[in-house]
Chains A and B, each alone.
Chain A
């Protein structure tokens, strides 16, 4: 009999309002039982979780794995391992690959690569439009049939309101959310950071908060019109949080995510032209960061997602205007969330697990997100008090682009179990 017994940890399962010291027995890829002083079936591996949290596996709804097309930056295998090392048992991969994930062939390829890697689960997100070109709707039915869990045109904002309306309506047939990167391109054109006092001083072209908020408002109106499920990616401004809060009050089907960098950093990180602080949407003002934190607290923002975006070091080693957007995030997300949100008293550990596991599973309709008996044996064991320093050269990701190098963080994953198998165990 193959199984794992996780002993003596603090088991937190927000889906069942469970928070107690207990043992968790995993058998045949499922959660078998949770209890105290459980007897040990023969042939079962034991994980000592004393002093640690045992949670349903963390799920990241927004990563870029670069395969197919840019395997020098990341592959499905390296990304899935980096995910497991960061405590994630599953990730959702954006479709901006080459070729674009706009057909069942690419979806199937990514699933196969993930299976071969045998680390974190990988759920492809299909494109909304063919080639992410914003013209013709992709075949949602075939994408979903092959295993896609949502659709998005990712970093190519859906400019056409008609296309977004159609996507929201058509996606209802398959019960999937439409995820949007909210950016009004005529307002953001040429911009490389948030428009504010720092962009003024650095002489860099800014992107006003309104560029995001205009599209958030549009998407909310279209979700209301169609009854479709809009999922708003990487919210970065106080105005967006306010719009979503009001939309939820009105019963609009909206969910939203925020990234660790948007609750940890502000536009001041761009000082010195640090290209690792260049991202889209950009790092905003302290008031925006505070609004994102409050949104995560009150549930206006449902989940934490990384927007993990690998880039080669020399692509970032250049003038700020010319550097690509984005940072990697899989291996720092949990530590940043605990350091910035839990240790500051904003979120309880149970709320954190909700925002990083049960919440993501619920809003994208994914397996996992709970330790209920019979649930998939996807488990993250993390030490919420472990102090560590971010050393990018030790990452499992193929890329190193992070603004958090050298930063002291509290909390990190020690064991990540996927389908009842240890996908990652931190070396002693």
Chain B
């Protein structure tokens, strides 16, 4: 039943080019569902999905929930606040208890790298990684790919620079794997303190300065800089970060072409990106969010055993 993607979606590192392509293609018909007055298809009717969020999240959790509801699944949200997790229950115990209530899928967000894989190997339900520590955030990577494909018409051969705190970023890792597998070139740009060891061995180009990235790229994926990185001593100050690595209108004016601007959100205006860039004509930050729902619908649908042909039918609202 789950042959198309396997049982779980843990990361894009573990998917083939064809599987990633399949998700993106399956997302296309689901885009239209969200544009209808009645935003619902019956594809996951009767399926029970738990959204297990051990870290605060607004955008990703809501996006998954919309995706689930628009596919007619029954959903339950479990946040770490007020749950048994606070009482010291282990992750595996929490999951096994949920499964004892006979669920079909778990969407998990967790602060520890590897948490989704850990869970997936210990329960029968499908597990979807909604971000695990500094490891991967595969649906974010997929929605970035879909948005880039929408805007540039292809992924093969395009140059995408991922800028900022790559060291602590699960978004960066999912983007690197997804882009490389689909034939794009990937550049990495940020202060050396925030670039992971041996990152070039993944097949990416390290661009030391933001000016280099702007000269090189077709698109910039600008990562959020967490305030705590300054407190931990990785950078001297947010002000200096903006001065040296901020994506500003002035810097973009020197680009040889118009660059597509992506950001996984939430945006720190005036830190990693200036407001007029984030709100400017080449920003796809809001289309990313829109595509997030479609991509997550596609992932849920495929993991539940849906076939790509049916997705076309589901997108047209036909019963099957």
Cβ 8 A contact of B134, one of A196, A197, A203, A319 = A203
Q: Per-residue CB proximity of B183-221 to A under 8 Å, as 1/0?
A: 000000000000011110110000000000000000000
Residue B62 is within 8 A (CB to CB) of chain A in the complex: no
Q: Which residue from chain B places its CB closest to the CB of A315 in the assembled complex?
A: B90
Q: Which residues of B contact A208 (CB under 8 A)?
A: 197
Residue B70 is within 8 A (CB to CB) of chain A in the complex: no
Residue A273 is within 8 A (CB to CB) of chain B in the complex: yes
Give the distance in Å from the alpha carbon of A196 to the alpha carbon of B173 in the complex.
15
Top 3 nearest A-B pairs by Cβ distance? A203-B135, A273-B114, A203-B134
Q: Which residues of B contact A206 (CB under 8 A)?
A: 197
Cβ 8 A contact of A197, one of B117, B133, B201 = B201
Give the distance in Å from the alpha carbon of A195 to the alpha carbon of B132 in the complex.
19
- Of the A-B pairs whose beta carbons lie under 8 Å apart in the complex, a sample of 26, sorted by A's number, is A195-B197, A197-B197, A197-B201, A199-B197, A200-B196, A201-B13, A201-B173, A203-B132, A203-B133, A203-B134, A203-B136, A204-B133, A204-B135, A206-B197, A208-B197, A272-B117, A273-B117, A314-B90, A318-B90, A318-B91, A319-B110, A319-B112, A319-B114, A319-B115, A320-B114, A321-B113
Q: Is the CB of B198 within 8 A of A318?
A: no
Which of the four size classes fits the interface of chain B?
20 to 34
Give the distance in Å from the alpha carbon of A272 to the alpha carbon of B115 in the complex.
10
Which of the four size classes fits the interface of chain A?
20 to 34
Distance (whole angstroms) from the CB of B254 to the closest CB of chain A: 31
Q: Is the CB of A202 within 8 A of B198?
A: no
Q: Is the CB of B118 within 8 A of A200?
A: no
Residue A71 is within 8 A (CB to CB) of chain B in the complex: no
Interface residues of A in 182-205 (CB under 8 A from B): 195-197, 199-205
Give the distance in Å from the alpha carbon of A206 to the alpha carbon of B132 in the complex.
16
Q: Is the CB of B173 within 8 A of A203?
A: yes
Q: Which residues of B contact A314 (CB under 8 A)?
A: 90
Cβ 8 A contact of B114, one of A195, A196, A202 = A202
Q: Which residues of A contact B113 (CB under 8 A)?
A: 202-204, 273, 320-321
Q: Which residues of B contact A196 (CB under 8 A)?
A: 197-198
Residue A317 is within 8 A (CB to CB) of chain B in the complex: yes
Q: Which residues of A contact B313 (CB under 8 A)?
A: none
Q: Which residue from chain B places its CB closest to the CB of A199 in the assembled complex?
A: B197
Q: Which of B90, B136, B170 has the most CB of A within 10 A?
A: B90
Distance (whole angstroms) from the CB of B164 to the closest CB of chain A: 16
Q: Which residues of A contact B202 (CB under 8 A)?
A: 197, 200-201
Residue B92 is within 8 A (CB to CB) of chain A in the complex: yes
Residue A322 is within 8 A (CB to CB) of chain B in the complex: yes
Task: Decide: A321 near B133, CB < 8 A? Known: A204-B113, A206-B197.
Answer: yes
Q: Is the CB of A200 within 8 A of B198?
A: yes
Q: Which of B132, B198, B202 has the most CB of A within 10 A?
A: B198
Distance (whole angstroms) from the CB of B53 to the closest CB of chain A: 15
Q: Per-residue CB proximity of B126-158 to A under 8 Å, as 1/0?
A: 000000111110000000000000000000000
Q: Which of B110, B117, B118, B202 has the most CB of A within 10 A?
A: B118
Q: Is the CB of A320 within 8 A of B112?
A: yes
Q: Which residues of A contact B201 (CB under 8 A)?
A: 197, 200
Distance (whole angstroms) from the CB of B79 to the closest CB of chain A: 18
Q: Which residues of B contact A321 (CB under 8 A)?
A: 111-113, 133
Q: Which residues of B contact A320 (CB under 8 A)?
A: 112-114, 118
Give the distance in Å from the alpha carbon of A199 to the alpha carbon of B202 in the complex.
12
Q: Per-residue CB proximity of B72-94 to A under 8 Å, as 1/0?
A: 00000000000000000011100
Q: Which residue from chain A places its CB closest to the CB of B110 in the assembled complex?
A: A319
Interface residues of A in 284-334 (CB under 8 A from B): 314, 317-322
Q: Is the CB of A204 within 8 A of B134?
A: yes
Distance (whole angstroms) from the CB of A167 to the closest CB of chain B: 31
Q: Is the CB of A203 within 8 A of B170?
A: yes
Distance (whole angstroms) from the CB of B123 to the closest CB of chain A: 13
Q: Per-residue CB proximity of A317-354 to B under 8 Å, as 1/0?
A: 11111100000000000000000000000000000000
Task: Decide: A322 near B112, CB < 8 A? Known: A201-B173, A317-B92.
Answer: yes
Distance (whole angstroms) from the CB of A246 to the closest CB of chain B: 26
Give the distance in Å from the alpha carbon of A322 to the alpha carbon of B133 in the complex.
12
Give the distance in Å from the alpha carbon of A202 to the alpha carbon of B197 in the complex.
12
